[in-house]
Amino acid sequence: MQRDLDQLMADRDLDAIVVSGKTAGNPPLIYLLNGAHLTQALVVKKRGATPHLIASPIEREVAAATGYPVILNTRYGYRDLLGKHGGDVLAASVAYQRAIFDDLGVTGRVGFYGYRDQGSAYAFLTALNAALPAIDIVGESDANLIEAARATKDAAEVARIRDVGRRTAEVVRQTVSFLQAHTVDADETLRHATENRALTIGDVHAHIHRLITLQGLEDAEGFIFAAGRDAGVPHNQGTLDMPLRLGETIIFDIYPRESGGGYFFDMTRTFCLGYAPEAVMDLYQDVMGCVAHLKAALQAGVETRTYQQMTCAFFEERGHPTIGSDPATLEGYIHSLGHGVGLDIHEAPSFFDHVGNTARLTPGHVFTLEPGLYYPDRGMGCRIEDTLWLDEDGNVSNLTGYPYDLVVPM
């Protein structure tokens, strides 16, 4: 949580942090801006102090909405610095950052965060480190301070995610109603409502996109509505010209966020229209069994990778290959169990089962569990995913208000 920033800085022995870049597509910066819609910004926070926001004069009023003390970037005279350095952008950028640090009295270990071009970040921070002997530039390569703060959500964040979840479930509900409103031909394909042809995956995609928008959400990362063989390949988003037909597995994985770059939600349901073949029923039973098995075991303090191991063990006992025993398998259980959800669709905590993942379930975590089984060559796949919240008292709430039924009556 934001209120943990000073403690997280102390843990890392950081005297100050810089979070900067363009705002769009930059969750670390968005997180610190408290909802202000700046185009770009530079936030400097010394340990124990309120952050300073350095912004362009043309955005001075938007900047004020952050609640931070605002410094106009003209104070540091970037244009003059460029002139002084003969147009050398790197040298001028270093001099500009030095002027900011001098002005704000920043010294010691300084962590840098926020998205920017990686080569440019490397060039800039290398040059800055060389130019400022009083500053020690710290680059965190994993589980960094901002990610750690973001991993646990405060009440306001949970309320927003819960509300996105409510609207997301409504989209799923309306999508199912849309499907049910169609008639079925003798060959078991669904018929388009107004045109003389089959209803296609593409038609459903267009409808889902519209439903998402009408809920005040955006599908910034797309969504998956994939059937048959495509459902057997986890990130296949669906083949647009494929007709919908009864009895095929449909994976509907939907992860929209608040319009304008806010909080995400993430859920998946597997459907069969009309009826489910026996092989699919078996798959579904195994996945639902795993869901129940996992939920019963969720507990604050447990390493997240434990749940990935439990999932592999559960599926292997039932005869499915998993990446637990064969990392390269393309059948069976072939991905990670879940992920944190927030301003990024995938954020901390990770559930990867590797020795570098030391994350433990912690009060404030909002995360998905999404066990699935995939058999593309048998034309089927099944995944069930909920977004869950571990609250301050250690209780798990399911933020996903939608049933698990496999068969959609037609």
Residues 119-148 that bind its own copies (CB under 8 A): 119-127, 137-144
Contact assessment for residue 28 and residue 113, using Cβ atoms and an 8 Å cutoff: yes
Only one of the segments 181-189, 281-289, 345-353, 390-398 lies at the binding site for its own copies (rule: CB under 8 A); that segment is: 345-353
| Helix, strand or coil, per DSSP, at residue 323 | coil
Give the shortest CB-180-to-its own copies separation in angstroms. Answer: 25
Those residues with Cβ within 8 angstroms of residue 301's Cβ, 6 or more apart along the chain or in another chain: 360, 361, 362
Stretch that binds its own copies, among 19-27, 177-185, 277-285, 312-320 (CB under 8 A): 19-27
Candidate residues 13, 61, 377, 392; the one interacting with its own copies per rule CB under 8 A:
61
Decide: is 222 part of the binding site for its own copies (CB under 8 A). yes
Nearer to its own copies, 182 or 383 (CB): 383
**C-beta of 84: minimal distance to its own copies in Å?**
9
8-state DSSP, 365: B
> Which CB, 165 or 234, lies closer to its own copies?
234
Nearer to its own copies, 124 or 402 (CB): 124
| Alpha-carbon distances of 105 from 29, 47, 134, rounded to whole Å | 22, 12, 11
Name the one range near its own copies by CB under 8 A: 108-116, 161-169, 170-178, 268-276: 108-116
Work out which of 259, 285, 325, 395 binds its own copies, going by CB under 8 A.
259
Q: Is 99 in the site for its own copies (CB under 8 A)?
A: no
Inter-axis angle of helices 201-214 and 155-180, to 10 degrees? Answer: 140
**From 133, 355, 393, 409, residue interacting with its own copies (rule: CB under 8 A):** 355
Parallel, antiparallel or unpaired: strands 380-383 and 257-258: unpaired
291 binds its own copies (CB under 8 A): no
Is residue 244 within 8 A of residue 198, CB to CB? The reply is yes
Nearest distance from C-beta of residue 118 to its own copies, angstroms: 4
Cα(76)–Cα(137) distance, integer angstroms: 21
CA–CA separation, 357 and 138 (whole Å): 21
Q: How far apart are CA 55 and CA 44, in angstroms?
A: 11
Residue with smaller CB distance to its own copies, 189 or 236: 236
Using the rule CB under 8 A, which residue among 33, 41, 45, 59 binds its own copies?
59
| Residue 10 phi, psi dihedral angles, 5° rounding | -65, -45
Q: How far is the CB of 234 from its own copies (least distance, A)?
A: 4
CA 205 from chain centre, in angstroms, equals 21
Q: Which of residues 73-92 bind its own copies (CB under 8 A)?
A: 74, 77-80, 82-83, 86-90, 92
Q: Is 356 in the site for its own copies (CB under 8 A)?
A: yes
Provide, rounded to whole angstroms, the least separation between the CB of residue 28 and its own copies. Answer: 7
Site for its own copies in 314-343 (CB under 8 A): 327-328, 330, 334-335
Cα angle, residue 265 at apex, residues 263 and 268 outer, rounded to 5°: 165
Site for its own copies in 166-205 (CB under 8 A): none
Q: Is 247 exposed, middle or buried (0-12, 13-18, 19+ CB in 10 A)?
A: middle
Query: What does the buried/exposed string (b/e) look like for 64-79 if buried means 16 or more CB atoms within 10 Å of the residue's CB?
Result: eebebebbebeebebe
- Phi first, then psi: what are they for 221, rounded to 5°? -110, 15
Give the span between the Cα atoms of 176 and 67, in whole angstroms: 44
Q: Which is nearer to its own copies, 203 or 390 (CB)?
A: 203
Continuous segment of H or E residues that includes residue 31: helix 27-32
Q: How far is the CB of 260 from its own copies (least distance, A)?
A: 6
Q: How many residues bind its own copies (CB under 8 A)?
A: 86
Pick between residue 28 and residue 165 the one whose CB is nearest to its own copies. Answer: 28
Minimum distance between the CB of residue 323 and its own copies, rounded to whole angstroms? 9
Q: Candidates 28, 321, 349, 371: give the one binding its own copies (CB under 8 A).
A: 28
Stretch binding its own copies (CB under 8 A), from 244-252, 282-290, 356-364, 392-400: 356-364
- DSSP H stretches of helix in 190-262: 201-214
In the sheet with 339-340, reading across from the earlier edge strand, the strands are 347-350, 339-340, 366-369, 386-390, 396-398
By three-state DSSP, how is residue 370 classified?
A: coil
- If the CB atoms of residues 53 and 408 are measured against its own copies, the closer one turns out to be 53
Residue in 109, 115, 174, 407 binding its own copies, rule: CB under 8 A: 115
DSSP for residue 2? G
